[in-house]
Chain A
């Protein structure tokens, strides 16, 4: 067969022009990337996820206040809109509060007073912090020029703490608990799922029944039981660690099943048999032939597992058996929104809930796109 003739036999989608990109020499990651880029929703989800992780990484700098900073003078202060035009000149400012007494409940309430102008600046000095525990600074992205003036862009909670700052700081815990938890699940999942899929037989049977047993236990009572076993004397950081362990002890089962399935599917592929006949050792087959073909699938499953972890942490903390103050996570923040009175009076306490929804959706879109792109050879 001549080369010219064979070119005609190629799939027309492959031989068409792709803007000079060389599809013949493109490896799996390149192909997967091209396929992923076509999935617009997933790309958008990916950008949102990256932004949220950046927020989590630079929380101290981005948040106007520290997570625990409170002001007894401004409890349940409503959100202030950020203005840039005061009628005369251009400049960032917020309006201050004046106190009114509600004629029905006789409670003190804050209303925004357009008369009071509080100038706001970028890169202002504020509460000191230690960035990543490395160097000290007191520069914040945004804040009132006079540190004693109030600025609550997303409102304040029952102790007069800034919701914006707390949501930003909460992102760090909530987002990393997902990563760390999934990391541990992944370790257990690859190990047990891999053994189960590769060896099969009795071992597979045992591991699969174990997974079914774990899946059969109602999750919330199991978490509650495990969380109750955490000694109350532990420091918040240790509690954080224990919670991730608890979450991943339940979370590995799904990943283990995905990995077992991939192992079983690939184990009998002709190219794996061919590699065995080439004299490749068992380890070589796993590392050089099997692992690359499911690495992309694993990344996709991991992306889809993170939102489950975030939701689990939120649920646990919301129930009061997960993380505890003074640690700030979205779940801990939502605890504040547990009673109906505060929600009725201060609906901005639900903002962490919105953060959870956006994050989980973005991660799911990203994960779906990654899963579709994961195997560029199936079309």
Chain B
């Protein structure tokens, strides 16, 4: 049986349904983003680890120039090593029928049985290779899809200058290549890079690796010390051109994947906090107003013998009902979002299977956060309920205290009309309320700004990286370091307009106990095609001495300009040198290490040697040039800038923008909710006063002006405040999106501010018109007759 007090609660809720709904939606938005992001984070984490386990993704990896197979036994005997698999890995140029652009393939060997011990793949279509099958290959799914490759199709590869034909027998996925990134690239590019598995025997023959290996994967015992094992492996491989053993967290694909999954978690905190903050504010306004209008009812309940606690709980329950509805809706929304985002990411990452997992912990945490925010918002109102002396019920409220406004006190009384004075005095009487309302509306502007800011930032990032930093048409990499003659040969090719050579060397950077494996890029100082540009200070000329790091990389290594770094080169004579960090550069994409090319040549104890070149090409000659370049024996690969640009826009950017579009939808809800609440509260509070004004002869227009004028002023103040808040929130959000892959610049176009303000003003106009209709229909007799 529902008690009379509960019936009052339900009817009060029904009466304030518009405002309650606004809060319910806000709480729902917050809970949806929180539960959705946290759920997606956990689901992906679980999917990732089950994928890794199931396909025996190795714990450690090492590449070397060439070592006899017998060395594998020594590695297997190292303490802490559970199992070992040696492989032959080689990059080659692929010719794909009907595709004119350069394609690089990473050939990875598998045992003749067709199934590796470690780093297994998952066959999606077709089968794996068989011992007697001949020149069979399995290709990675991303690449296969990009070129519509199916079992039965033919592939031609140029491996170390030799053309070989293969037949596709299967399409597969592998935990090692969740992110299929060509070494040195910043983004996956499935059209131009793919992984191809073939039999060890075939690949060894093509690469002169019979009885030898150049790549090894290790599984460690659970109690093994990874750094110790890596150090021992390095010592063993030193003689064989080892390029440094590394653990899973430095494996390129895992690094990107784990980084991106981690990012979801930071989104899961920042965005919902904003929504909850606004919801708390709305609760504050609505409950404050409800308690003010129910002052007499509260006192009456107490006079009837209800205790302070019971009376407080009555209002507390009302808030709980609102929160519970918001939570329920939010959890449902969160489940949907978790499901949709996990599916989307799982498709993007091509997980063979995925787990969708929403734990009670997340829901409980969302509930705790919501309650915490709500208690901040309504604490004051509930305290007033509890402490209101019941004798108040019998005493009329003293008239509100008004004072002449500052403008009037300055003697400018005649400047303002009677109506304007009423507006100003009302604001002057409750400046905090006015400020909070403006702030609430400001938050709506701010969230819209944040939602749209992602678009601006991505546009800027793409423009900056691909039109300002990377201005080459293609990057040509050679199979091995070559003399400067190679540059001259390139220059002489018809259709090539400009060639700028570079030297790229695999290194391990070490600062204290922190290490980072990367390529040290040597550029010619006056280069135009690939520039080192600081986002704040502009193009930078590489210093003659020392190196330059992307600030993000300097942060990872914990170094500052002027510090000494140990550079361990993994190629050639493998020197280890102390190099000073001359400067850091604020870049948006990737993490890089730069040096002037001549300085790098000196460090390598070599003459003028190049690893490849950035080239500018004549547009008309593109097609024939690709063909020519791909058939040049010393060319390992050609990367096209346009393709990189396209792949960036199609991958990460797309997923970030999906999140942003959810944000914009939610921000619009907030804008409407806050403005609607502000207007409804003022109308309810001043119904009597406005009706009185109508009775003494004011027109509807004049009366509306008094109420809507105040609303308009609130919105007017909110616009600039919201823009500033939006900038700050964008900074906060951008700081959450900070990975090795890319950083988001805080770039907000004027049009973003304008549209954010536009949406809020539009919402305010719609709400204003609704309120105006209510003012027009004000029932003068009944409003004045009964006390509320």
A, B from the same assembly: no
